[in-house]
Protein backbone atom coordinates (compact mmCIF):
# COMPACT_ATOMS: atom_id res chain seq x y z
CA UNK A 1 0.00 0.00 0.00
CA UNK A 2 1.30 3.41 -0.91
CA UNK A 3 2.44 5.49 2.03
CA UNK A 4 0.15 8.51 2.39
CA UNK A 5 1.90 11.75 1.66
CA UNK A 6 2.92 13.59 4.78
CA UNK A 7 0.86 16.71 5.32
CA UNK A 8 2.84 19.89 4.84
CA UNK A 9 3.38 21.34 8.29
CA UNK A 10 2.52 25.02 8.19
CA UNK A 11 5.52 26.80 9.68
CA UNK A 12 5.19 28.88 12.82
CA UNK A 13 4.34 32.54 12.19
CA UNK A 14 7.35 34.61 11.20
CA UNK A 15 8.87 36.81 13.89
CA UNK A 16 9.69 40.44 13.12
CA UNK A 17 11.80 43.01 14.93
CA UNK A 18 11.13 46.72 14.56
CA UNK A 19 14.14 49.06 14.79
CA UNK A 20 13.41 52.75 15.32
CA UNK A 21 15.15 55.83 16.69
CA UNK A 22 12.38 58.34 17.37
CA UNK A 23 8.68 58.94 17.92
CA UNK A 24 7.74 55.68 16.23
CA UNK A 25 4.55 56.56 14.40
CA UNK A 26 5.36 54.08 11.62
CA UNK A 27 6.20 51.47 14.24
CA UNK A 28 2.76 52.03 15.85
CA UNK A 29 1.00 51.74 12.47
CA UNK A 30 2.85 48.45 11.96
CA UNK A 31 1.91 47.18 15.44
CA UNK A 32 -1.75 47.99 14.67
CA UNK A 33 -1.48 45.84 11.55
CA UNK A 34 0.18 42.93 13.36
CA UNK A 35 -2.40 43.06 16.14
CA UNK A 36 -5.38 43.13 13.78
CA UNK A 37 -4.00 40.17 11.84
CA UNK A 38 -3.57 42.25 8.67
CA UNK A 39 0.08 41.17 8.85
CA UNK A 40 -0.10 37.48 9.77
CA UNK A 41 3.07 37.36 11.87
CA UNK A 42 4.45 38.35 15.28
CA UNK A 43 6.63 41.16 16.59
CA UNK A 44 9.28 39.65 18.86
CA UNK A 45 11.07 42.82 19.89
CA UNK A 46 11.24 46.58 19.34
CA UNK A 47 14.80 47.89 19.42
CA UNK A 48 16.05 51.47 19.60
CA UNK A 49 19.51 52.99 19.65
CA UNK A 50 18.26 56.10 21.49
CA UNK A 51 17.36 56.14 25.19
CA UNK A 52 14.82 58.94 24.72
CA UNK A 53 13.10 57.40 21.68
CA UNK A 54 9.35 57.53 22.26
CA UNK A 55 8.99 54.29 20.33
CA UNK A 56 10.35 52.35 23.32
CA UNK A 57 7.75 53.57 25.81
CA UNK A 58 4.94 53.36 23.26
CA UNK A 59 5.77 49.74 22.37
CA UNK A 60 6.31 48.75 26.01
CA UNK A 61 2.91 50.24 26.92
CA UNK A 62 1.38 47.90 24.34
CA UNK A 63 3.09 44.92 25.93
CA UNK A 64 5.96 44.36 23.51
CA UNK A 65 9.48 43.37 24.51
CA UNK A 66 11.71 46.39 24.01
CA UNK A 67 15.46 46.75 24.01
CA UNK A 68 17.63 49.84 24.16
CA UNK A 69 20.95 49.23 22.43
CA UNK A 70 22.79 52.53 22.39
CA UNK A 71 25.34 53.14 19.67
CA UNK A 72 27.10 56.02 21.35
CA UNK A 73 30.71 55.24 22.32
CA UNK A 74 30.78 51.99 20.33
CA UNK A 75 32.12 51.14 16.91
CA UNK A 76 29.51 50.36 14.27
CA UNK A 77 30.62 46.72 14.30
CA UNK A 78 30.36 46.40 18.09
CA UNK A 79 26.92 48.01 18.14
CA UNK A 80 25.68 45.80 15.33
CA UNK A 81 26.97 42.68 17.10
CA UNK A 82 24.84 43.62 20.11
CA UNK A 83 21.80 44.15 17.90
CA UNK A 84 22.42 40.82 16.14
CA UNK A 85 22.75 39.03 19.48
CA UNK A 86 19.38 40.43 20.54
CA UNK A 87 17.78 39.41 17.23
CA UNK A 88 19.15 35.87 17.55
CA UNK A 89 17.98 35.58 21.15
CA UNK A 90 14.49 36.66 20.11
CA UNK A 91 14.58 34.25 17.11
CA UNK A 92 13.83 37.06 14.67
CA UNK A 93 13.25 36.21 11.00
CA UNK A 94 12.76 39.69 9.50
CA UNK A 95 13.57 43.28 10.38
CA UNK A 96 11.53 46.43 9.80
CA UNK A 97 13.42 49.71 9.98
CA UNK A 98 11.02 52.50 10.89
CA UNK A 99 12.82 55.79 11.30
CA UNK A 100 16.00 53.96 12.35
CA UNK A 101 18.68 56.61 11.98
CA UNK A 102 21.61 54.24 11.48
CA UNK A 103 23.17 52.89 8.34
CA UNK A 104 23.31 49.11 8.50
CA UNK A 105 26.52 47.55 7.28
CA UNK A 106 27.02 44.83 4.68
CA UNK A 107 28.17 42.52 7.50
CA UNK A 108 24.91 43.00 9.35
CA UNK A 109 22.89 42.46 6.18
CA UNK A 110 24.71 39.22 5.40
CA UNK A 111 22.91 37.55 8.28
CA UNK A 112 19.53 38.96 7.20
CA UNK A 113 19.93 39.06 3.45
CA UNK A 114 16.67 40.05 1.74
CA UNK A 115 14.98 40.22 5.13
CA UNK A 116 15.35 43.88 6.07
CA UNK A 117 12.76 46.44 4.95
CA UNK A 118 12.76 50.22 5.35
CA UNK A 119 10.40 53.12 4.73
CA UNK A 120 11.70 56.27 3.12
CA UNK A 121 9.69 59.51 2.73
CA UNK A 122 10.26 60.04 -1.02
CA UNK A 123 9.65 58.32 -4.31
CA UNK A 124 12.97 56.52 -4.66
CA UNK A 125 15.30 56.60 -6.51
CA UNK A 126 14.65 60.35 -6.20
CA UNK A 127 15.67 62.05 -2.95
CA UNK A 128 17.58 59.36 -1.06
CA UNK A 129 19.17 60.26 2.28
CA UNK A 130 18.12 62.65 5.01
CA UNK A 131 15.24 65.16 5.03
CA UNK A 132 13.68 63.60 1.97
CA UNK A 133 10.16 64.93 2.61
CA UNK A 134 11.50 68.48 2.82
CA UNK A 135 13.66 67.92 -0.24
CA UNK A 136 10.56 67.03 -2.24
CA UNK A 137 8.85 70.20 -1.02
CA UNK A 138 11.87 72.34 -1.87
CA UNK A 139 12.07 70.85 -5.35
CA UNK A 140 8.46 71.92 -5.87
CA UNK A 141 7.30 68.43 -6.80
CA UNK A 142 3.58 68.21 -7.49
CA UNK A 143 3.47 64.48 -6.81
CA UNK A 144 5.28 63.49 -3.64
CA UNK A 145 5.43 60.13 -1.98
CA UNK A 146 7.09 57.45 0.11
CA UNK A 147 8.71 54.11 -0.62
CA UNK A 148 9.04 50.80 1.20
CA UNK A 149 12.14 49.00 -0.04
CA UNK A 150 14.54 46.20 0.77
CA UNK A 151 17.64 47.41 2.53
CA UNK A 152 20.98 46.84 0.85
CA UNK A 153 24.41 48.21 1.69
CA UNK A 154 23.73 51.53 -0.09
CA UNK A 155 21.74 54.50 1.20
CA UNK A 156 18.10 53.93 0.15
CA UNK A 157 19.16 51.97 -2.92
CA UNK A 158 17.49 48.61 -2.31
CA UNK A 159 14.73 47.11 -4.46
CA UNK A 160 11.37 48.86 -4.17
CA UNK A 161 8.46 46.88 -2.71
CA UNK A 162 5.71 49.49 -2.68
CA UNK A 163 5.30 53.23 -3.25
CA UNK A 164 2.47 55.61 -2.47
CA UNK A 165 1.96 59.23 -3.39
CA UNK A 166 -0.16 62.32 -2.87
CA UNK A 167 -0.60 65.63 -4.62
CA UNK A 168 1.17 68.53 -2.92
CA UNK A 169 -0.94 71.60 -2.22
CA UNK A 170 0.70 74.72 -3.51
CA UNK A 171 0.13 76.59 -0.25
CA UNK A 172 1.28 74.15 2.44
CA UNK A 173 4.51 74.39 4.42
CA UNK A 174 7.24 71.75 4.27
CA UNK A 175 6.18 70.55 7.73
CA UNK A 176 2.53 70.27 6.72
CA UNK A 177 3.49 68.27 3.65
CA UNK A 178 5.75 65.95 5.68
CA UNK A 179 2.91 65.45 8.18
CA UNK A 180 0.44 64.52 5.44
CA UNK A 181 2.98 62.23 3.86
CA UNK A 182 3.48 60.44 7.15
CA UNK A 183 -0.21 60.01 7.96
CA UNK A 184 -1.74 59.67 4.51
CA UNK A 185 0.94 57.62 2.79
CA UNK A 186 3.63 56.10 5.06
CA UNK A 187 1.29 54.62 7.67
CA UNK A 188 -0.77 53.07 4.88
CA UNK A 189 1.92 51.62 2.67
CA UNK A 190 4.27 50.14 5.27
CA UNK A 191 1.83 47.54 6.65
CA UNK A 192 0.68 46.76 3.10
CA UNK A 193 4.25 46.29 1.92
CA UNK A 194 5.01 43.90 4.78
CA UNK A 195 1.91 41.88 3.98
CA UNK A 196 2.89 41.81 0.32
CA UNK A 197 6.40 40.70 1.27
CA UNK A 198 5.01 37.76 3.28
CA UNK A 199 2.58 36.84 0.51
CA UNK A 200 5.37 36.81 -2.06
CA UNK A 201 7.49 34.66 0.22
CA UNK A 202 4.82 32.04 0.69
CA UNK A 203 4.02 32.15 -3.04
CA UNK A 204 7.68 31.52 -3.86
CA UNK A 205 7.80 28.67 -1.35
CA UNK A 206 4.74 27.02 -2.94
CA UNK A 207 6.20 27.53 -6.37
CA UNK A 208 9.38 25.73 -5.35
CA UNK A 209 7.54 22.73 -3.92
CA UNK A 210 5.33 22.11 -6.98
C1 LIG B 1 9.48 58.69 8.69
O2 LIG B 1 9.23 59.79 7.86
C3 LIG B 1 10.19 57.61 7.92
O4 LIG B 1 9.82 57.54 6.59
C5 LIG B 1 11.62 58.05 8.02
O6 LIG B 1 11.74 58.56 9.34
C7 LIG B 1 10.48 59.02 9.78
C8 LIG B 1 10.18 58.31 11.07
O9 LIG B 1 8.99 58.75 11.66
N10 LIG B 1 12.53 56.97 7.72
P11 LIG B 1 8.31 57.89 12.81
O12 LIG B 1 9.35 57.72 13.90
O13 LIG B 1 7.91 56.58 12.22
O14 LIG B 1 7.14 58.70 13.28
Catalytic residue selected from 94, 120, 149, 187: 120
Nearest Cα to Cα of residue 137 among 76, 191, 180? 180
Give the distance (Å) from ligand 1 centre to CA of residue 10: 34
For range 134-158, the mean pLDDT: 96
What's the burial of 196, exposed, middle or buried (CB within 10 Å: 0-12/13-18/19+)? middle
**CB of 45 closer than 6 angstroms to any ligand 1 atom:** no
Catalytic status, residue 131: no
Which residues 6+ apart lie within 8 Å of 120 measured at CB? 128, 132, 146, 147, 148, 149, 156
Does any ligand 1 atom lie closer than 6 A to the CB of residue 26?
A: yes
Q: Which of 48, 56, 96, 99 gets mutated to test ligand 1 (max ligand atoms within 8 A of its CB)? A: 99
| pLDDT, tens only, 53-77 | 999 999 999 999 999 999 999 999 9
Q: Share the mean pLDDT of the chain.
A: 94
Q: Which of 163-167, 169-173, 188-192 has the lowest mean pLDDT?
A: 169-173
The whole-number average pLDDT for the span 64-93 is: 98
Q: Which residues contact 99 (CB under 8 A, 6 or more apart)?
A: 20, 21, 22, 23, 24, 25, 26, 27, 55, 119
**Interval between CA 100 and ligand 1 midpoint (Å):** 8
Q: Relative to the CA of 23, which ligand 1 atom is closest?
A: 12
- Residue 22 CA, ligand 1 centroid: distance in Å: 8
The DSSP secondary-structure symbol of 7 reads P
Mean pLDDT, residues 42-53: 98
CA–CA separation, 148 vs 122, rounded Å? 10
Cis before residue 125, ω within 30 degrees of 0? yes
The pLDDT assigned to 47 comes to 98
Question: Does the pLDDT of residue 6 top 50, yes or no?
Answer: no
Task: Kindly report the pTM of this predicted structure.
Answer: 0.93
Q: Is the pLDDT of residue 4 over 90?
A: no
CA of 103 to the centre of ligand 1 (A): 14
Q: What is the mean pLDDT of residues 90-119?
A: 97
Residue nearest to atom 12 of ligand 1 (CA): 24
The CB-side HSE value for 184 (13 A sphere, CA atoms) comes to: 12
Amino acid sequence: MATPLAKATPHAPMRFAILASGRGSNAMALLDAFESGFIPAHVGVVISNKADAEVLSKAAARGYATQLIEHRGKTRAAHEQEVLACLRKQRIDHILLAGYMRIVSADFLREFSGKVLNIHPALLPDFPGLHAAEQQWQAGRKVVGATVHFVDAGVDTGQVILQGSLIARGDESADALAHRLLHEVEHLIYPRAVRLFLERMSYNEKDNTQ
